[in-house]
Chain A
Amino acid sequence: MSMSNAIRTVFLKEVKDALRDRRTLMAVFISAVLMGPLMLVMLSSLVGKYEKRAEAREIVAIGLEHAPTLRNYLERQTFTVKTAPNDWEARLKDSKLGDPVVIVPFDFEDELAHGQAPRLELVYSSANSRAQSGVGTIAQLLRGFDQEQASLRLIARGVAPGVTTVMRVDEHDIADNASRAAQMTGMVPLFVLLAVLYGSLNAALDTTAGERERGSLEPLLATPASRMALVIGKWGAVFAIGLLIAVLSCLSFLPAQSLLRSESLAALFRFGWVEAAWFIGLLAPLAAALSALMMAISIRCKTFKEAQANNVVLTMAVSMTPMLNLFNQEGESTWNLWVPSIAQTTLMNRVLKNAPIGWLDVAPSLFVCVALTAAALMFVSRQLTKRAAQ
């Protein structure tokens, strides 16, 4: 039998076998394909809430009745003043109150009138992210009141307010929409990466350790098909299943966009067919390498369970290392493009930022993935005979 025929026979059998494992496929589908868009939609509804709060222009205060001037200023700035509930401190700690609280002393107006600097308190909890996000806005608002009062005093003394201003700072944000959105959507590559990982994991285990455990490996090796043909056929099927799940995962983000609750996020998150195609193209070599590596780890194991335990290190490494990127404040380094999984997340993030990607960016990880695949498959082929008789 020719090698290509044997590869085709094994490939078709393994794909059929894997696709009939409906329960496992459903579990993978839910965790790898539905989870990502669901998280994105949930995140967007959270961002939507922040946006709504920013639009609402509210300030929560205690004792503002002692400060009519301040109140007047706040109302001129179109802010609505809300009185803090009695148990505001506890609610702020428990994250039930989503705004920082301004405490105004009872002698605020008197001290202001006499030129003494009255002391306001701005209370928030850094453990309460909702309230903390509003601190900047409120602090800036209060500084505005401070400047207005200072200017009035200078004018009353016949001094131009500009005397106290020695310079101006103009802020320019050069991030374009896509890269701003990429900060929020940085988790999308992580999800498709997990889809590749968990999509191929089960098939990789089943075609190696599973085959040994159920006692079908020995009869398989008693056929005249070459070891390499068996291994390539099996790997092809594992790779195809992993890639299929990756494609579904990428495509699932297309309809998810229309469900985004945050208007600005929906406007910024551009994930169309082109981006999906880029993602799939970038993930394919990784799926190939991971499939081969998982098979190489599992072929040494006698049972499916043992193989699962042995694969934990690999799955952890692949899913955790890209997190380094999320926390890395120094931007991309050259070595990032050489390490599989980090390279793919880096490049996928570039796609989301609409940044250019050249062949030289893709080549390192492609080279590493191809080398890993070849080495792992040769290892599996060598181990196949050695382990079958044990």
Chain B
Amino acid sequence: MIAMDDLRKQFTTGRGRKARTVTAVAGMTLHAHDGAITGLLGPNGAGKTTSLRMLVGLVTPDSGTIRVDDVDLRDDPQGVRARLGVLSDARGLYPRLTARENIVYHGRLHGVADDVAHARCDHLARLLEMEALLDRRTEGFSQGERMKTALARALVHDPANIVLDEPTNGLDVVATRALREALRVLRDETGKCIVFSTHIMQEVQRLCDRVVVVAHGRHVADGTVASLCEQAGTDDFEDAFVRLAFGAEGPSR
């Protein structure tokens, strides 16, 4: 379970007179439960990635609390990281290592024994249909192959909580469907808590049990797709999102 409450973060760019303060996150609240896929839906620049970076401890929030399985990030950042499997927007691989070596390396850093990490790697390869890739060096991998490897790397330690930041970026239809299927399996068979950040409506509609809508760095609404449509007073989820995120008048042009 992941609970982020009233997170706030400002960045200062430049120095002296040229210093400028940018508010990236201004009151983000997200509660994601086990055995469910929670969508974090927001337009570009809404603060999704910054929020997820705060969750992992890469960015320190100015205020607010983050708890993962009842472990507070401030008290035990390493404990929180151990409970998370994160596929961030930076999903670089080591090109001179094979996919298996990339995955096992992260497993070892998560404290997983070597033989267990190899076994997990084989299991995930079956789940993500990437067995043929395992012993190839990742140099020259396609976007989809890279994503699968990065996802397996994020899941190698069998974390209870999975955080995916725009995982379908750059993927074709087949790869996107395969990813969706894998996430369903993880939710239904192992009861994982999955947070899925995106700006694509269809993905949210097809996959998410609950949706948290964010805009301008803060949480503006949450609920199931149907309840959000109801809140916005429309049948069309895209219209509902625009109304909730930007107000009744829509985005400023």
Contacts and interface: CB of A to CB of B under 8 A. Distances in A.
Q: Do A and B bind each other?
A: yes
B132 interface: no
Interface string B96-132: 1100010001101111000000000000000000000
Interface stretch (A10-18, A134-142, A145-153, A312-320): A10-18
B19 interface: no
B194 to A, nearest CB: 16
Contacts of A217: 90, 92
B111 A219 contact: no
A162 interface: no
A219 B106 contact: yes
Interface residues of A, number: 27
Interface in B138-182: 150, 153-154
B109 A224 contact: yes
Pick the most buried of A214, A222, A389: most chain B CB atoms within 10 A of its CB.
A222
Contact of B88 (A10, A17, A218, A385): A218
A223 B81 contact: yes
Pick the most buried of A214, A217, A221, A389: most chain B CB atoms within 10 A of its CB.
A389
Given A214-B95, A219-B86, A219-B91, A389 B58 contact: yes
A225 interface: yes
Given A17-B97, A222-B88, A389 B59 contact: yes
A20 B110 CA distance: 24
B93 A216 contact: yes
A385 to B, nearest CB: 7
A353 to B, nearest CB: 43
Which secondary structure dominates chain A's binding surface? helix
A346 B92 CA distance: 44
Interface string B185-207: 00000000000000000000000
Contacts of A220: 106, 109
Pick the most buried of B53, B92, B96, B106: most chain A CB atoms within 10 A of its CB.
B92
Given A218-B88, A222-B86, A1 B110 contact: yes
Pick the most buried of B108, B109, B110: most chain A CB atoms within 10 A of its CB.
B109
A211 B84 CA distance: 21
B66 to A, nearest CB: 14
A224 B57 CA distance: 10
B97 A223 contact: no
B53 A389 contact: yes
Q: How large is the interface on B (under 10, 10 to 19, 20 to 34, 35 or more residues)?
A: 20 to 34
A219 B97 contact: no
A223 B109 contact: yes
Contacts of B81: 222-224
B96 A219 contact: no
B110 A17 contact: no
Contact of A226 (B59, B78, B90): B78
A38 interface: no
Interface in A214-271: 214-226
A9 B109 contact: yes
A17 B138 CA distance: 12
A51 interface: no
A24 to B, nearest CB: 10
A9 B95 contact: no
Interface in A199-223: 211, 214-223
Nearest to A225: B109
Interface of A: 1, 5-6, 9-10, 13, 16-17, 20-21, 211, 214-226, 385, 388-389
15 contacts: A1-B110, A9-B109, A13-B105, A16-B101, A20-B97, A217-B90, A218-B88, A219-B91, A219-B153, A220-B109, A222-B154, A224-B109, A225-B109, A388-B58, A389-B59
- Per CB-CB distance, the 10 closest pairs between chain A and chain B, nearest first, are A215-B92, A1-B111, A215-B90, A216-B92, A214-B92, A223-B109, A218-B90, A224-B78, A20-B96, A224-B82
